[in-house]
Amino acid sequence: QVQLVESGGGVVQPGRSLRLSCAASGFTFSSYALHWVRQAPGQGLEWVAIISYGGSNTYYADSVKGRFTISRDNSKNTLHLQMNNLRAEDTAVYYCARDHFGGLVRGTMLNYWGQGTLVTVSS
Amino acid sequence: DIQMTQSPSSLSGSVGDRVTISCRASQSISSYLNWYQQKPGKAPKLLIYAASSLQSGVPSRFSGSGSGTDFTLTISSLQPEDFATYYCQQSYSTPPPYTFGQGTKLEIK
């Protein structure tokens, strides 16, 4: 069965960096686009970033553009989110999610999700 | 970016009730609208995709409708396990972002 397991969360000071990882299993990792979605405490879902199956196409929410970088290692079935210059407003549970397709396809959906990892940005 | 607005933000219902949640897009998104259910402390779960297609394994009491800018999620007969928060999401934008609505919390009356 499809499994996505996030790691790398923790407490970090404002302005510092953190790298999240998402280990995948149960499907052909290199065939699917992947997303990061976050949820601030007590708040709704916010889409963060997407990477295509091969890694050549990436897009970001305006709130993280220029600070966050999504990447993937298809040889290790792992997705990453490098988060730089962190702010208090980046505090959230970060979920990785699998796309239904490999490329960036209009009409797609996020049909598998990990359990999330909590990032707390605080001095 | 396309903005998604859900209404109401919260509602209460009893087991057996029929409930409806609305989602409005700031511009036409055709039928590129998904619905997710999230229970406290858990990851979201895909319920409906392409506005009205039921994800495999989701009970048939859930249904979706709409196109263009106005969409609806209906639960025909509330069950205890349905009390959760529901989110709509558009996947029309090319390129992304794929924005979510702010959520609708469904509580027990």
Name the token pair of B56. Answer: 């495999």
Q: State the pLDDT at residue A26.
A: 97
Residue B18 has pLDDT above 90, yes or no: yes
Q: Which of A47, A111, A116 comes nearest B98 by C-beta?
A: A47
**Is residue A10 within 8 Å of A120, Cβ to Cβ?**
yes
Give the Cα separation of B5 and B80 in Å (integer): 26
- Give me the mean pLDDT over the A74-87 stretch: 98
Name the token pair of A114. Answer: 């990990």
Contact: A109, B102; criterion CB under 8 Å = no
Residue A73 has pLDDT above 90, yes or no: yes
Which percentage of chain B shows pLDDT scores above 70?
Answer: 100
Which percentage of chain A shows pLDDT scores above 70?
Answer: 100
Within 8 A by CB and 6+ apart from B57, the residues are none
A55-72 in b/e form (b: 16+ CB < 10 A) is beebbbbeebeeebbbeb
Contact: B102, A44; criterion CB under 8 Å = yes
Alpha-carbon distances, residue A22 vs B14, B105, B108 (angstroms): 38, 28, 35
Name the token pair of B59. Answer: 């009970």
Residue B2 has pLDDT above 90, yes or no: yes
Give the Cα separation of A13 and A75 in Å (integer): 32
A8-40 in b/e form (b: 16+ CB < 10 A) is bbeebeeeeebebbbbbeeeebeebbbbbbbbe
Contact: B96, A47; criterion CB under 8 Å = yes
Contact: B103, A45; criterion CB under 8 Å = yes
pLDDT tens digit string along B26-66? 999 999 999 999 999 999 999 999 999 999 999 999 999 99
Q: State the pLDDT at residue A102.
A: 86
**Is residue A2 within 8 Å of A110, Cβ to Cβ?**
no
Structure confidence at residue B109 as a pLDDT band (50, 70, 90): confident
Q: Name which of B78, B70, B74, B75 is nearest B101 in CA terms.
A: B70
SS3 A31: helix
The angle at the Cα of A7, spanning A6 to A13, to the nearest 5 degrees, equals 125
Give the Cα separation of A5 and A96 in Å (integer): 8
Residue A10 has pLDDT above 90, yes or no: yes
- Give B31→chain A minimum CA distance, Å: 8
Q: State the pLDDT at residue A81.
A: 98
Q: Name which of A65, A94, A86 is nearest A17 in CA terms.
A: A86
Give the Cα separation of B60 and B70 in Å (integer): 21
Higher-confidence position of B18 and A103: B18
Name the token pair of B75. Answer: 């639960």
Residue A57 has pLDDT above 90, yes or no: yes
| Amino acid symbol at A15 | G
Q: Which of A104, A106, A109 comes nearest B49 by C-beta?
A: A109
Residue with tokens 């069950």: B79
Contacts of A111 in chain B (CB under 8 A): 46, 49, 55
**Is residue A88 within 8 Å of A16, Cβ to Cβ?**
no
Which percentage of chain B shows pLDDT scores above 90?
Answer: 96
Contact: B38, A45; criterion CB under 8 Å = yes
Give the Cα separation of A41 and B106 in Å (integer): 18
Residue B67 has pLDDT above 90, yes or no: yes
Q: How many Cβ pairs closer than 8 A exist between chain A and B?
A: 72
Which percentage of chain A shows pLDDT scores above 90?
Answer: 96
Q: State the pLDDT at residue A103.
A: 86
